Structure 1
Amino acid sequence: MVAILLAGWLSRRITAPVTALTEATQAIAQGDTTQLPVTSSDELGRMSEAFNHMTSALETQRELRRRLVNDVSHELNTPLSVIQLEAKGLHDGLQTPEQASDLIIGEVDRLRGLVSDLNSLAETDYGELGLTVEASSVSSLLTAEVERWQPHSRAREVDLSLQISGDLPDMDLDRLRMSQALGNVVSNAIDCSEAGGSVAIRAWQEREEALVISVVDSGIGIDAEDLPHVFDRFYRTDQSRSRGIPGTGLGLAITRAIVEAHGGTATVESGGPGQGVTVVIRLPLANSLEG
């Protein structure tokens, strides 16, 4: 009799965690990510821990998706509202076709930029960035960026300059993607600078370790509490929102993803409001054709 009771107890002790794991697995399909209690350090306990890690990851991804939907909805709402108001004003005769069309075209361009940025982020999220690496002259890449953004800087009366220290090594890069990463930083720096301000692109080799590219502006600066968040998606500081500085808050997130795909790092520094911003990109010399 004792043997039968002991066998039943052992059976329940073994099958109960398995049953709980099975039920929890089925509950995931209904969106329930409740964690399992870990009551032992044996194989079943390790399975429960692995299950809990999985549910935590699923919950994190769910929260990220929820935030993304909310953020995208917010970003879409503003240009759509402007387009609706302009179309209504045109219909009611309150706006001339020229006035309405200019504003509508501007908002459509903003929507197009948002869609492009979202596509870039989706590619990084799913590991589909697909770098096309080739031997590239960093000096010529930077020179091309200055030429590309000179018209925009002149229009805003901001001085844009390039300062290269020494001979920069050629590197294995995806030139198109790196141009995208740099363009996000440079355009943001120009937009955040007042008329009469400056944006300086600087590049140098840091010992035998890295090639460093910095973009230094004399713009509105960033509060200390905002610095940890500048690479977050859709994050825009109060200063940029209040001054009507264009952008979706995705550019720096895309820049960091592209730089990290090249094995590098992207950081930001600022002395505070009114002290400008410095974005620093470091690329390992392991990518150098001389390394």
Structure 2
Amino acid sequence: MQSLRNPLVTLAAGMFIVGGMHYAAPIVNLILLSFLLAMSVTPFMEWAIRKGARPGLAITVTILAVIFGGLLLSALLGVSIARMIEQLPAYQPRLVEVRNSLEAFLAGTGIDAARLFSGLKMQPERIMELASKVLSAGLGMVSLSLVIILIVVFILIEAAAHLRKLQQEGEAKGAMSRYFLFGKDVRKYLGIVSLIGLIVGVCNTILLLVLGVDFPILWGVLSFLLNFVPSFGFIISLAPPALLALLQFGWSKALIVVIGFFLINSFTDNVIKPRFMQKGLEVSFLLIVLSLVIWTWALGPMGAILGVPLTMVLSRMYREYAEAEQNRINQ
């Protein structure tokens, strides 16, 4: 009976915590996103130290890169989002033209497109209103970037102190050592995903710049962030620039954007990713789906980005706890 009670109590506690996170999502998202970014850059700081760089220098360079890179990126994103909000009304006539052309094409195949679009609530006005709300929410998140950068810097300072203690105590001693070993796989996974996301984001930005699609930096950053959402993130990151290319230039360039994004994503997934991703760091499709459903409900849209890393942390915590309990029973 006791063996059954413990998992039930753990499940009930977990549901209570997730429910609490749902109601405190704005604050929780801010903190968790800061930890995600800090854990993403920590492996590069550790790599520099292992290669012989002085710890103080590696830490200082990492922190300065976070500060200046974060401020520059926030400024670029803020300007891009503000400009796009201003230009949304200019895209609406072209969106009406695209809808009319689709209606004419579908009508030729015998489909009542007007009723279909009405049922799906795909009126241009509603689409523009939704886009404006999403962009305004993104602008609000960018306005909090200074707070996020400060939290990331303090986390890196604490991580550096922990790393020095780990080197002094040795890997077998102290709670701090167990903390660092606990997060090792998660930090390695986040570091690899961040590197691949950076490559994808830069390549997508260059492609959009060459094609002349508006706001290429915004879509490149979106590609980087959604790279943390395996399988589904690519599709979500593709939709806005492809739609914008359709509104600006027509179907031909929209198709080029789709093909270009697909080729870049396929290259990184099949060529670059296997070189870095070790066995055991891959995430199962079932875990991805469950993470998206649960964490998106709990944290809103940000939960889609944070979901897989959070699930990996909880999974590792459970394994650590199960191993400790098994060792205690065997003694």
Provide the TM-score with structure 1 as the length reference. Answer: 0.29
Larger Rg: 1
Q: Which has the higher helix share?
A: 2
Provide the TM-score with structure 2 as the length reference. Answer: 0.26
Higher relative contact order (CA 8 A, sep 6+): 2
